[in-house]
Amino acid sequence: HSYMADVDPVSPLTGEEYSKDEILEDLSTIRRTGISMTMGDSVEGAGGVAAPVFGSDGEIVGCITLAAPIDRLKENLKKYSELTHAAGERASQFMGSSMPYPGSK
């Protein structure tokens, strides 16, 4: 049974409904780049950039998240994304992951 079949994709902060197709497209981008972003979806006025941390078995064991006021995050999005991605990759290596990290060159 699929999680997407049962989920009601509504923002807890704004009440905005998301289409399941948009969510699946976002997940595809996240898997390819290794970065997830949010801009005011969970906390008013704040956004975040996150990268997964993989364990030695290739499963996600956590994530590295950088949160900031939206204006500051947007001003520094490239830099913050690169730093978060590098931290996620390094933490994954520390946890014993030897798989190629998503979005790495």
Residue 39: HSE in the Cβ half-sphere, 13 Å Cα cutoff: 7
Is 48 a member of any domain?
Answer: yes
Residue 61 belongs to a domain: yes
Segment 34-54 shows an average pLDDT of 91
pLDDT at position 9: 81
3-class SS letters over the chain: CCHHHHCCCECCCCCCECCHHHHHHHHHHHHHHCCEEEECCCCCCEEEEEEEEECCCCCEEEEEEEEEEHHHHHHCHHHHHHHHHHHHHHHHHHCCCCCCCCCCC
Q: Tens digit of pLDDT for each residue in 70-82?
A: 999 999 999 999 9
Q: What pLDDT, on the 0 to 100 scale, is given for residue 41?
A: 78
Q: What percent of the chain has pLDDT over 70?
A: 99
Would 14 be classed as within a structural domain? Answer: yes
Q: Judge whether residue 27 has pLDDT over 90.
A: no
Per-residue pLDDT for 64 more than 90? Answer: yes
Please report, for the domain that includes residue 76, its CATH number.
Answer: 3.30.450.40
pLDDT at 94: 96
Q: Establish if 34 belongs to a structural domain.
A: yes
Q: Is residue 7 part of a domain?
A: yes
Q: Judge whether 88 lies within some domain.
A: yes
In a domain, 103, yes or no: no
The total number of structural domains that make up the chain: 1
Q: For residue 104, is it within any domain?
A: no
For position 48, what pLDDT does the model report? Answer: 96
Give the domain range for residue 58. Answer: 3-94
